[in-house]
Chains A and B, each alone.
Chain A
């Protein structure tokens, strides 16, 4: 007799646990307000990434097309995987001194691991992360970017 009661109890508890689970899932079914899906390409306009989001490394320029990069090459040394290549040139300043300056700051987005070492170690804070995350391109070559804009100059007062 006892074993029959045990048997029935087992069935009852089992079914009860199943019903409890079903109550949770059915509850969600009837509460569509809790849906978390984002309609991504449609919400592009009001999609705001966090300001620290590491999308890609950029070199901010001001309105008069000036940047802060002195061409010292520290970011290149610190980058763990050779993503950055600093090609510097020698320029003659107004007072006739020879000085190193950036010619091309090459950044290979395809290799970057977003470790932020370059941004952090740059002595003149010339680099930053942008929040752009749509990096898909049809051509690998377009992942190689030049960070200093053509014709740009070193900002005044940055050594």
Chain B
């Protein structure tokens, strides 16, 4: 409420209120930012969300557990696999189902592929936010290959609906391994190009380094997770700290920086692409034989109680909290979505910087709006 008063009383302070969004090219969706400016300097930002609120949490209360999958697909559509995985892991944990290694490995590969494509899209849109439009097309060009891999195996490009409680919807496609290996070979060649065009570019460096620094302290107190927090030195990778699926079997580094500015938030994602490729390479040739799904009861009922499952999506930590009253529908579902939490820090970061920096900072936090609103 206090902030609202501040905004109304801006005439005396010579502030200039600009409404960014909900239809603005760089808010990546229907996010509305009420920005008060003094000249070009950002004084205050009030984010308004809810333009794409679909009531997913409430809807989950009236559908069964396997059906939740089709809603989590649509939350953070760039991390659909990980979102789905959270539901599956939770159900499997609650029912104490033993999941064969094959499923775990395939899930891990899929998660990493989807992290990879998410970071590619981040690279693409971040470049475009900063004005380098060619980045967008290069990023999408390479992302297309991952989407093809998804499409071949799961039948969907972004909305994959591949995981289901107890395993996977279908087995992987016979071409899957070959395609993934081809892609990694191809992308290892293209990634240096990304660095030449954007990372090494002096304009890009100038635009991003030192902009919107987030201290470790602030990262913790604002609850930031994911690459944005790891850029500030907060070790918060669920894959490391609470390994699920096959993450305990693979070697990968948690990308950590200490500076926490826009450049390092970008670099954290850039390096994660390399880590993801390493992870996939370790697993792709070692997919164990076995069934692709465990036989579950036709109607899945969780025993009464509260359950919580964390997964690491491309943007941070997704927490899924479910209260079950023993029925086939959950009693209450709550998603702790990384984007919503990360949005909270935007005002803190962008205050005092220029309007162009606001775009860079917002871009580096890598928002997916449907995940905020759910």
Contacts and interface: CB of A to CB of B under 8 A. Distances in A.
Judge A-B direct contact (beta carbons within 8 Å). yes
Interface of A: 13-15, 17-18, 20-21, 23-25, 36, 50, 52-54, 78, 80-81, 113-117, 120-121, 129
Given A18-B202, A115-B69, A52 B161 contact: no
A24 B202 CA distance: 15
B229 to A, nearest CB: 29
B169 A120 contact: yes
Contacts, number: 70
A78 B67 CA distance: 8
**Interface SS majority for chain B:** helix
B207 to A, nearest CB: 13
B155 interface: yes
Given A24-B197, A120-B169, A53 B70 contact: no
14 contacts: A17-B200, A18-B203, A20-B196, A21-B196, A21-B200, A23-B196, A24-B193, A52-B152, A52-B153, A52-B154, A52-B155, A114-B155, A115-B67, A117-B70
B67 A18 contact: no
B189 to A, nearest CB: 12
Given A17-B200, A21-B196, A36 B141 contact: yes
Given A52-B153, A52-B173, A13 B202 contact: yes
A114 B159 contact: yes
A111 to B, nearest CB: 12
A115 B161 contact: yes
B193 A50 contact: no
B223 interface: no
> Which of A21, A25, A78, A113: most chain B CB closer than 10 A?
A21
Contacts of B291: none
Given A17-B201, A21-B201, A114-B161, A50 B155 contact: yes
Contacts of A21: 196-198, 200-201
A80 B70 contact: yes
Given A36-B144, A115-B69, A53 B63 contact: no
